[in-house]
Structure 1
């Protein structure tokens, strides 16, 4: 199997999957069985490029490929010139809080910002530098100054005025402080003052804990906090579009952690925030923003703790009643990720073998019949029908290849027979009930 894949992607795929996590890059090379979802996603991206905003919920069982899908969406969106970011919900971050947990989520989003030339994240400084370069070039042209001369410190105030003007055009809430901090970033950029530049980035990423500290370092009155972080995300969306990007896509995975919030009142506040974002996007109150949530069916449908416990969300997210396994509707807000069938798993394992061989520059003595035998052994194990997920199949297969690579004479059939199937799914309902007691 011939693969046009970069060595860096090869290593990322193998190391990540052996470690039980989804690789940040290269997932498109091992994707199978998701063409309809990707096609629908491409159409949605076109809408967002044209100024609309969209929220999608990607729902699937534990290990069904939700995180994989999020990374695939990233790859597709980056090629469409979107700025993208990923963040996981955890017990320490959420959409709504009064104790700093929401701004922690914001900081994770800003840390993980990626563009096509920096797909692994950390691209915010690159984007700011690019935007400032554009403003300097435009200012130089407007005032008859050479592109080289405009970098002199004598023109700092002239550039800062244009920064303020441009930021005011693309921001709605918190424009003054937002613009002031970006001007400080520019000042650090021109004067090669790395401390000032880092402090400006620290503010923009929501990492200042007190207003006093921010005022001392940057001379601003406010900081990004639990209450205003969403407004800042909207500001950045407009800023990215003004630079020339198609929009801003944010993927929020592990949404089951919202379901697990212990107190019903706080859980409802988080669902209320999802509703607010949903309404903003579909009512046209925000442009060029695409937000994806990934979670389990329990997170969506549980009538006591899931999104369906919040009636306003339930009415918006219920499945199209005309949809079935044969006839899908990918235009609706909720997209359910169906399990891969045996043929798709077979193709996936063959692709993984090819990537594995590229990574180690070796030919593994495993043919198509061996792959089928591996699958047959695995799927006939006790509990396989109930517990087995693509995640375990992939990990077991790569572990087998690893053993064969290092022990070429090993008995493959015996190796396949030694594999055991375990229930690795978390008992989400039980965990949540315990936390609520």
Structure 2
């Protein structure tokens, strides 16, 4: 794998502040080959005018959010528009119009510089492509005629938006796009400019979403991928809110499975509580449970079926964390052009002792926090030559693991990191 200095800088700088980089995620993705293969299959399926809903579950620190982000980048490469939203106090996933609003305000697609793009960006690109097209008017007319069959009000507003953009009427374009994106505070006089009276509400939100997805496919995109993080927060809400959220999940599953919501995929991430809580989780809503929970879940939890709606992930094992650690050390070395004299044995022991400190469960440690600390250690070592802080960390971990003997892997040679990670090079 070749990476540029800019890519290396993006990765290290993001990890330094404890966040996942927006791009170049493949550098950090280890131990998830099977999951990636499954979601690649799903995206290819959805691209062919199908719909799908999947769930990712695992304990805190197992990398659910990272996997969501990786899937989003995969989807962009396949031509999907991606919307990543998060359940919180402002969006409890119990109202369809709120969900639609959140989706429309968090759009991104390949080729747009800002990671958090916008509705306007998507169609600005389309209009620019049409500028030199002699059949521009006919192509716009064809698109409008198609979407009017899905929702006439949406088609009217979109027609207004396109005309305003072509005529450089920025005010009307802004009003039209705001209405399409679900803004409810528009004055009646503003809406009258493009001849609509209603607004997006719980009764028409799904129609608007279906129309928007159709519009995306008409202008050349593969469809829409919606990523929803921290879905387990629904469990903490009142019963009426929980049940409304679970009913929306059931509805989305049915619409995607039936083909009514085609070229669309939802991927939800949540902790095990969402699926296993007998009093507040999905198991309390029979109509939803029957669609996503298998009889084999309780009979044999060791069996994995990645094609099922629920994809269960675990924390990285020692080998995966070792590979990831070496990748980061190598990138840091290449970026700052220094030689960290770290033996494989030291790195391996650091990983092993970290792993054992949390009871052989890396779900006990947040991977982002682990990588943030690793970058801090490397930065200090590079700027303070002669201070091997990683070895000092190993000593501290030994103190926390007095019953654990120093880890020795006889299969590893007594080599330095400068000779490792040959699969990554700085372009």
Q: Same fold (TM over 0.5)?
A: yes
Q: Distance in 2 between matches of 1:317 and 1:89?
A: 20
Kindly report the root-mean-square deviation, in angstroms, between the aligned alpha carbons of the 2 structures: 2.8
- Picking from 291, 295, 303, the partner of 2:278 is 303
Match of 1:153 in 2: none
> TM-score, normalised to structure 2's length?
0.83
Q: Please tell me whether residue 349 in structure 1 is matched to residue 325 in structure 2.
A: yes
The DSSP-based 3-state class of the residue aligned with 1:33 is coil
> TM-score, normalised to structure 1's length?
0.81
Q: Report the count of equivalent residues.
A: 395
8 Å Cα contact 1:164/1:179 also seen in 2 = no
Cα separation, partners in 2 of 1:187 and 1:4, compared to 1, 3 Å: same
- Greater alpha carbon shift after TM alignment, 54-63 vs 324-333: 324-333
Cα separation, partners in 2 of 1:185 and 1:396, compared to 1, 3 Å: same
Match of 2:47 in 1: 49
Question: Which structure 1 residue ranges, 4+ long, deviate > 6 Å from structure 2?
Answer: 134-138
The DSSP-based 3-state class of the residue aligned with 1:248 is strand
Match of 2:347 in 1: 371
Q: Distance in 1 between matches of 2:388 and 2:9?
A: 27
- Picking from 309, 330, 333, the partner of 1:333 is 309
The DSSP-based 3-state class of the residue aligned with 1:57 is strand
Q: Distance in 2 between matches of 1:86 and 1:231?
A: 20
Match of 1:108 in 2: 102
8 Å Cα contact 1:13/1:26 also seen in 2 = yes
In the TM superposition, 1:35-434 aligns within 5 A as: 35-97=33-95, 103-118=97-112, 120-132=115-127, 140-141=134-135, 159=137, 163=140, 166-170=143-147, 173=150, 175-210=151-186, 212=188, 214-215=190-191, 218-261=194-237, 263-319=238-294, 321=296, 327-381=303-357, 385=361, 387-412=364-389, 413-418=391-396
Cα separation, partners in 2 of 1:93 and 1:7, compared to 1, 3 Å: farther
Q: Distance in 2 between matches of 1:62 and 1:368?
A: 28
Runs of at least 5 residues in structure 2 that lack an aligned partner in the other structure: 401-427
Which gives a bigger RCO, structure 1 or 2 (Cα 8 Å, sep 6+)?
2
8 Å Cα contact 2:82/2:107 also seen in 1 = yes
Q: Please tell me whether residue 33 in structure 1 is matched to residue 8 in structure 2.
A: no
The DSSP-based 3-state class of the residue aligned with 1:278 is helix
| CA-CA distance at 1:400 after TM superposition | 1.7
Render the CA deviation track for 1:372-423: whole Å, top value 9, x for unaligned. 13213323436674723433332322222222122222243223444699xx
Render the CA deviation track for 1:179-208: whole Å, top value 9, x for unaligned. 222222222222222222222222222234
The DSSP-based 3-state class of the residue aligned with 1:294 is strand
Match of 1:156 in 2: none
The DSSP-based 3-state class of the residue aligned with 2:2 is coil
| CA-CA distance at 1:361 after TM superposition | 4.2
Render the CA deviation track for 1:74-124: whole Å, top value 9, x for unaligned. 121112121212111111103323xxxx54443332232222212713142
- Picking from 8, 22, 25, the partner of 1:24 is 22
Q: Distance in 1 between matches of 2:102 and 2:261?
A: 21
Q: Distance in 1 between matches of 2:241 and 2:159?
A: 37
Runs of at least 5 residues in structure 1 that lack an aligned partner in the other structure: 142-149, 151-158, 422-437
